[in-house]
Amino acid sequence: MDERAAVTETLPADAPVARRGFGLSVKLIAMIIVTILAVEVLIYLPSAANFRANWLDDKIRVAGVAARVLDIVPDAMDVPEELADGLLASAGAAALIVRRDGQSQLVEKTDMPMPKTAVEADMRDAGPMNLIGGALDTLFRGGDRTLRIIGTPPEDADAIVEILVPEAPLRAELLDYSRNIFLLSLIVAAFTAIAIFLFLNRLLVRPIGRMTQNMVAFRRTPENATRIITPSSRKDEIGIAERELAALETDLFEMLHQRKHLADLGLAVAKINHDLRNTLTSAQLLSDQVATLDDPKVQRLAPRLVQTLDKAINFAQSVLDYGRTATAAPKPQPVDMRALIIEAAAEAGLFGHPEITFENTVPDDLILSLDPDQTARIFVNLIKNAREALETRHGEEPARIAIRHHEAGDWVTIEIADNGPGLPPRARDNLFRAFEGSGRAGGTGLGLVIARELTEAHGGRLRLVDTEKGTCFAIDLPADRLV
Ligand SMILES: Nc1ncnc2c1ncn2[C@@H]1O[C@H](COP(=O)(O)OP(=O)(O)OP(=O)(O)O)[C@@H](O)[C@H]1O
Ligand SMILES: [Mg+2]
């Protein structure tokens, strides 16, 4: 019994399917969540950059208004302190510089403590990557720094304003914004993941799970027709797979039943055949005794009776042999091929044959690892066929059977050739078909089939070689069987 069969038998048919690793649903959920989060990070980065850019632009706009107020004051030194404080307070800045036409004006709040580290945010030529980088910098490295914002106010294209503000409020607002976005993303991700999962689960995971369970259950008890899957009416690939699976299981179920019936039938035939052979053997013994009687009539008929019984016994024997070939696995051992062929030829009735010359050129150092009994049966069948064919012909040249051998690549080939009449059409058309290929009276049509099955059981092949005259069969055996 092989290992798989053992597993099949010890498991109850309804045992759940053991899965290795994570199931399809877990993988699917993980994949959806990871994908959605990745997409959200991609969306979050530009939006955080945008949030920060708006905040900075706001400061520049307020600074622009302050710049216009300062415009009215001719000299920066004359700016009244309250006005300066008011302007700076509205922008939340510690200092404001306005540059226009090569001149600069500076207002500053001396009493406002500012962090020593400064960082510049130039909004005049800020590209998207700069802005994203700036936002990340504020988030991860910012906080206790002074921000120097440079820009051109929207209503005053000639001026350049520069303001110094603490970065902490920007960072706090950006963190707040990020937190909100993050929470919102989580909600969106959860909803989307659930929706996609439910959809895919219904569309793919459940039907695939159903098919998997079915295949496992069917394999455990393929003779149970209720285990054949009932396909759904879907028209897509899953529907096709279900219908194909159902067809496959139905075919398998029918084949199994057919095989079981045939096996039962074969068993019955074998039993009948066995008894028949025994009865015929008893009849043969009787006929042998009858043949010893002196009656001239009996003397004339007895040989024909003996011959007929012989044929019948042979027939019964070959059917029994055929039944046995399918079951026995070869038991290889080193075999001297030359000796084996000589014995097979003797068994096939070649030695002392009045007409047929036997030629065996297989060297005596050709040793192969094969089952000796089965190999002998291969040669006996083939040599017997050749002898039978040669006995029916009335040829000009002397009848001859030759056994040759050659080795090429992965194969050791042994050929059995004769110079007989060649295969009759019936045998040629039904070559290697049990019971159908016999082209001679009294033949069962099993010899070649048995020979081929036995050759294949050894990993080899039996083939008919094209010849101009006579018949030649080649037995190819794998070279790794050489000892
Ligand atoms: N060397 C050969 N020369 C000519 N015909 C052959 C040769 N070998 C086989 N045949 C033909 O092929 C047929 C099938 O051979 P096979 O050995 O399978 O069956 P069989 O000899 O008829 O019966 P059995 O089962 O008793 O061997 C033979 O009946 C014969 O007509
Ligand atoms: Mg034969």
Strand ranges across the sheet with 146-151: 103-108, 95-100, 160-166, 146-151, 118-122
pLDDT for 418 beyond 70: yes
Asked if 338 and 308 sit in the same domain, the reply is no
Question: CB within 6 Å of ligand 1 — which residues?
Answer: 318, 381, 385-386, 389, 418, 420, 422-424, 427, 437-440, 443-449, 471
Mutate to test the pocket of ligand 1, among 311, 387, 448 (most ligand atoms within 8 A of CB): 448
Ligand 1 atom at shortest distance from the alpha carbon of 426: 31
Mean pLDDT of 375-380: 93
* pTM confidence score: 0.52
Q: Helices (DSSP H) in 153-236: which residue ranges?
A: 168-200, 206-220
pLDDT for 211 beyond 90: yes
Q: Are 63 and 96 spatial neighbours (Cβ–Cβ below 8 Å)? A: yes
pLDDT at res. 75: 61
The verdict on residue 221 lying in a domain is no
Q: Which of 346, 280, 263, 262 is nearest to 317 (CA)?
A: 280
* Structure tokens belonging to residue 208: 């695939």
Ligand 1 atom at shortest distance from the alpha carbon of 432: 18
Q: Helices (DSSP H) in 337-414: which residue ranges?
A: 337-347, 372-392
pLDDT at res. 3: 41
The verdict on residue 439 lying in a domain is yes
Task: State the pLDDT confidence band at 325, using cuts at 50, 70 and 90.
Answer: low
Asked if 305 and 454 sit in the same domain, the reply is no
Asked if 169 and 262 sit in the same domain, the reply is no
Asked if 335 and 286 sit in the same domain, the reply is no
Residue whose Cα lies nearest atom 10 of ligand 1: it is 423
pLDDT at res. 402: 96
Mean pLDDT of 299-317: 85
pLDDT for 2 beyond 70: no
The verdict on residue 210 lying in a domain is no
Q: Are 145 and 169 spatial neighbours (Cβ–Cβ below 8 Å)? A: no
Of the listed ranges 177-181, 332-336, 426-430, 434-438, the one predicted with least confidence: 434-438
Asked if 118 and 34 sit in the same domain, the reply is yes
Q: Are 401 and 386 spatial neighbours (Cβ–Cβ below 8 Å)? A: yes
pLDDT for 1 beyond 50: no
Ligand that comes closest to the CA of residue 311? 1
Asked if 277 and 310 sit in the same domain, the reply is yes
Residue whose Cα lies nearest atom 30 of ligand 1: it is 439
The verdict on residue 42 lying in a domain is yes
pLDDT digits (tens, 9 = 90+) for 212-251: 999 999 999 898 888 999 999 999 999 999 999 999 999 9
Residue 427 CA, ligand 1 centroid: distance in Å:
7
Instruction: Report the chain's C-alpha Rg in angstroms.
Output: 49
320, 344, 370: which is the final residue of a domain? 320
Q: What are phi and psi of 196, to 5 degrees?
A: -65, -40
In the chain, what percentage of residues exceed pLDDT 70?
A: 93
Q: Which of 121, 131, 134, 104 is nearest to 165 (CA)?
A: 121
186, 201, 224: which is the final residue of a domain? 186
Q: Which of 39, 32, 77 is nearest to 194 (CA)?
A: 32
Residue whose Cα lies nearest atom 13 of ligand 1: it is 438
- Those residues whose C-beta lies under 8 Å from the C-beta of residue 359, and which sit 6 or more positions away, are 400, 401, 402, 403
Q: Which of 170, 193, 181, 154 is nearest to 63 (CA)?
A: 154
Ligand 1 atom at shortest distance from the alpha carbon of 446: 25
CATH code, domain carrying 376: 3.30.565.10
* Number of residues written out for the chain: 483
pLDDT for 172 beyond 90: yes
pLDDT digits (tens, 9 = 90+) for 42-70: 989 999 999 999 999 999 998 888 888 87
Mean pLDDT of 467-481: 94
pLDDT at res. 136: 94
pLDDT at res. 262: 85
Asked if 157 and 293 sit in the same domain, the reply is no
The verdict on residue 202 lying in a domain is no
Asked if 151 and 49 sit in the same domain, the reply is yes
Per the structure, the count of domains in the chain is 3
The verdict on residue 197 lying in a domain is no
* Domain coverage including residue 70: 24-186
pLDDT for 131 beyond 70: yes
* Structure tokens belonging to residue 461: 């092949």
Asked if 344 and 468 sit in the same domain, the reply is yes
Asked if 181 and 268 sit in the same domain, the reply is no
pLDDT at res. 9: 43
Ligand 1 atom at shortest distance from the alpha carbon of 420: 3
The verdict on residue 7 lying in a domain is no
User: Which region, left, alpha or beta, applies to residue 442 given φ > 0 means left and ψ of -120 to 50 means alpha?
Assistant: left
226 exposed, middle or buried (CB, 10 Å; 0-12, 13-18, 19+)?
A: exposed
pLDDT for 460 beyond 60: yes
Of the listed ranges 296-300, 408-412, 442-446, the one predicted with least confidence: 442-446
Q: CA-CA distances (angstroms) from residue 311 to 274, 284, 317, 442? A: 15, 11, 10, 7
267, 290, 320: which is the final residue of a domain? 320
- Dihedral in degrees, nearest 10, Cα atoms 23, 25, 29, 35: 80
Q: Are 194 and 128 spatial neighbours (Cβ–Cβ below 8 Å)? A: no
Ligand 1 atom at shortest distance from the alpha carbon of 416: 1
pLDDT at res. 282: 87
Mean pLDDT of 104-128: 84
- Helices 24-72, 168-200: crossing angle, 10 deg rounding: 150
pLDDT for 11 beyond 70: no
Give the whole-angstrom CA distance, residue 95 versus residue 106.
Answer: 7
pLDDT for 378 beyond 80: yes
Asked if 31 and 117 sit in the same domain, the reply is yes
- Those residues whose C-beta lies under 8 Å from the C-beta of residue 229, and which sit 6 or more positions away, are 210, 211, 214, 218, 242, 245, 246, 249
Q: Which helix (H) or strand (E) holds 406?
A: strand 400-408
Q: Is 198 helix (H, G, I), strand (E, B) or coil?
A: helix
Asked if 50 and 135 sit in the same domain, the reply is yes
What is the average pLDDT value for the chain, to the nearest integer? Answer: 87
The verdict on residue 11 lying in a domain is no
Residue whose Cα lies nearest atom 27 of ligand 1: it is 447
